Amino acid sequence: MTRTNVTLALLLAAGLLGPRAHAQNPDPMDIRACTAIESDAQRLACYDRATGRVNLPTAQKRMNENAAAPGVFASDKSATQGNPEVSRPMSLLDSRWELSPESKLGTFNVRGYKPLYLLPVFATSNQNAQPHSPNPLNTVGTPQQLQNVEAKFQLSLKTKVWQGVFGDEGDLWVGYTQSSRWQVYNNKISRPFRETNYEPEALLIFNTNYQVAGWDGRLLGIGINHESNGRSNPLSRSWNRVMGNIGFERDGWTVMFRPWWRVPEHGKDDNNPDISDYMGRGDVQIVHEWNGQEFGLMLRHSLRGGDRSHGAAQLSWAFPITGNLRAYMELFKGYGESMIDYNHNATYLGVGISLLDWY
C-alpha cells in the first residue's frame, strides 16, 4: 500500500473523511475509549453509542412512544432529553441500580452495594464495655476490657436475581452487608472481634419518573431485611424489618429515604425489645459528588417524642488516591453504631481507605 493510501485509510478510520459513512458506522476510536470507563453500566452505554445501537428503529420507536406517554413507573424513561440520539451521563442511582432500559445488565452480576472500606483507626471516647438490654438474658454482668481504638471494615455486595418481575417493570435484588469492629490493638485479650453485624436483604426496585420541588424521583423499592450479630446470650442482638426505598436525584446530589417497620418478636426471644426507639424507624442518606469527591450524610431517628426520642447522624467523606482506591473518613454520633451498641450513645471517628462509596 502506498503512503497516500495509508494516509487516506487513517483519515477514514478517524472519521475525518466520509461524514455519511461515519453517521452509519461506529468509530473504532469510540470503542477504544469505552474500555477506560470503570462503571459497568456507563461502559455498556458507551458501547451502544459507538456501535449505533441507539439508532435502531425499534429502540427509536420505543423512545418516541415513551416520550409521548410518560408514566410514574418509568422503565420507559429515556436516558436522553430533547435529542434521543445523544445519551446524557448516567446518574448515580442509575449506574448502581440499572434503572433505565439502556443501563440493564441482566441477572447475577455481582455489584457493590454500600461502602466497601477498611478503617485501620476507628476510635471513640466512650466504648461500650458493658452492653445491656431490657431483656435480662441480654445484659452483660461484668465489664469487658476493651480499648477505645480499634479497626473497622465493611464488605457489601448485591446482585440482581430477576429482571422485569412485572413485564418490563421491577427488578428483584438480593444484597449482603457485613461490618466488623476488631480490637486488633488489644493484645491483653487476644485481639478479638468486638462486634460483627450480618445484614442479608432482598429488594424489589422500580424505576420511577416524577418531579418534586426540582428533584427527580428515580427509584421506589420495598424489601425485607435481617440484621444480627450472630452471637449467643447475653451479647445476642437481632431484628427483622420491612423497608421502603425512595430515591431522588438532581445534578451532583442523591437522596435516599428508607422508612421501615420492625417485625415484632415476643418474650425472651426478643434480644432488644426497645431497638426501634434507639436505632430508629427510618433514615435518610444524602450523597453529594463534587470534584471527584463524595460526601455522605446519614440521619436516623426513632420518630417518637419524650424519653423515646433518640437518633444518630453519620458524616462520610471519600476522595480519590489512585485508580479506584479512595481515602475514606467516617464520623458517627448517636445511638446504634452497631447492633451491640443499639442503645449506647457515643461518638466514633474512623480513617482509612475505600473501594466503593454510597449506592
Catalytic residue positions, numbered: 226, 228
Pairing of strands 345-356, 111-112: unpaired
Closest to 117 (Cα-Cα) out of 193, 180, 209: 180
Decide if 290 contacts 252 (C-beta within 8 A): yes
DSSP string, 299-329: EEE----GGG--EEEEEEEEEEEETTEEEEE
Strands 193-212 and 169-182, sheet pairing: antiparallel
Amino acid at 260: W
Question: In sequence order, which ranges of 217-290 are alpha helices (DSSP H)?
Answer: 276-279
